[in-house]
Amino acid sequence: MKVTTIIGAQWGDEGKGKVTDYLAEECRVVARSQGGNNAGHTIVVDGKKHKLHLLPSGILRKDVVSIIGNGVVVNPEVLLKELDNLDSERGQLLISDRAHVIMPYHKLLDGGEESSKGKSMIGTTGNGIGPCYSDKASRIGIRMGDLLDDEILMERLEKAFPRNQALLDHYGIKSDLTIDSLLNLCRKWRNELSQFITDTSLLINKHIDNKDNVLLEGAQGVHIDIEYGTYPFVTSSSPTTAGAALGSGIAPSKITDVVGVTKAYLTRVGSGPFPTELDDEVGEMIRDKGQEFGTTTGRPRRCGWLDLVMLELSNRICGFSSLAIMKLDILSDMDEIKVCVSYKDENGAEISHFPSSLSYLAKCEPVYKTFKGWSSAEIDIPNGTVPIEMKNFLDFISERLEIPISIVSLGPGREETIIF
């Protein structure tokens, strides 16, 4: 029996969806534990591309129970649209009664709050994730289970809506929302989603007790974690091992394996320091070849070389038992490839640990180790063989971080994967 959690080791967009889909083949349960439809997981099955924002990536396997855990914030309209797009292709879905609901005013507020930040804009997707988590922390949120009871629902709306309306007024955002219109909308969601809403923590723990394999799917990445990310350019939840346990309703001690997912290079969406960023033709090549445009927003991602200083912090916080190296094929056929092994600050001091101060980080320069490139013609995925230059690259990462590499992805499809 394994309880495996999939953690993004960078700033998100690492390829967690593919890893989850691949490992789900041997699992009975796949659960999303945090985030909302600000996530964007792209999975290719039999040449067909599926873009998921809220549904767990295991939903594409009919024999898997897919769970939206209590740590997730749910936009019912997005969820219903994703379900309609899948038709009969999906497996069973269950939603935690403790998961919070993204209301229409949350999405309106997200845009207003972001615009008010000016040059300090975080780069939010504008989907209402942050305002929903804010209501959750303020104890005025509405949970999926609340949709099932009109009396509780009205009580929640009478507390939540006046505060959110005041914020809308503050940002000069006009809306036609009323408590009655919101109540009717929630009733509509209840009619369409009540069959899925249950205590998912009980269910997951029963599967663990029955020795079934369970997979916890994270969203975003450690470096936009609310605690250890590049604050304030962070998300509103905790995409860490601890967050996965809490957000799915299991004890941390029940997690047996932690797979840290990282691209063979590095990308970022939005603002904030990025020591290895490539503002040149190499960065453009990586963006174009890797199709580095946001699944949720369509925004071009900033691209740079792999940063092992970042990964050291991710491992320290999450305790990776192995690494999954994604999109390694994008670096094929380059003359040379670089990996950041440390930073030098403005005084010339070399540092090997990721700083908390963004002003300090912004003045740091990367220290690189350079590797000879490899030819894509020498890659043999069916036999699991790779060029010696690629092996040297992978071995260095593994030895430097003292973490074994378990998965290497050399393309978007399930079959374009090597398991070690």
**CB-CB contact of 142 with 156 (8 Å):** yes
Question: Which among 123, 74, 113 has a CA at the least distance from the CA of 95?
Answer: 74
Known catalytic membership, residue 53: no
Known catalytic membership, residue 100: no
Kind and range of the H or E element at 267? strand 265-268
Strand pairing partners for 418?
408
The encoded tokens of residue 4 equal: 């495996």
Question: Which among 66, 9, 74 has a CA at the least distance from the CA of 36?
Answer: 74
SS3 247: helix
The CA distance from 304 to 306, in Å, is 7
The CA distance from 249 to 252, in Å, is 9
Q: How many CA atoms lie within 13 A of 134 on its CB side?
A: 16
Task: Give the active site residue among 21, 41, 207, 307.
Answer: 41
Distances in Å between the Cα of 134 and the Cα atoms of 34, 144, 312, 314 are 14, 16, 30, 25
Q: What angle do CA 73, 79, 84 make, to 5 degrees?
A: 170
The encoded tokens of residue 79 equal: 């969820």
Strand pairing partners for 101?
74
**Dihedrals φ, ψ of 342, to 5°?**
-165, 175
Question: Which among 137, 177, 141 has a CA at the least distance from the CA of 159?
Answer: 141
Distance of CA 174 to the CA centre of its chain: 32
**Dihedrals φ, ψ of 96, to 5°?**
-65, 135
Question: Which among 307, 387, 315 has a CA at the least distance from the CA of 339?
Answer: 307
The CA distance from 398 to 300, in Å, is 29
Could you list the active site residues? 13, 41
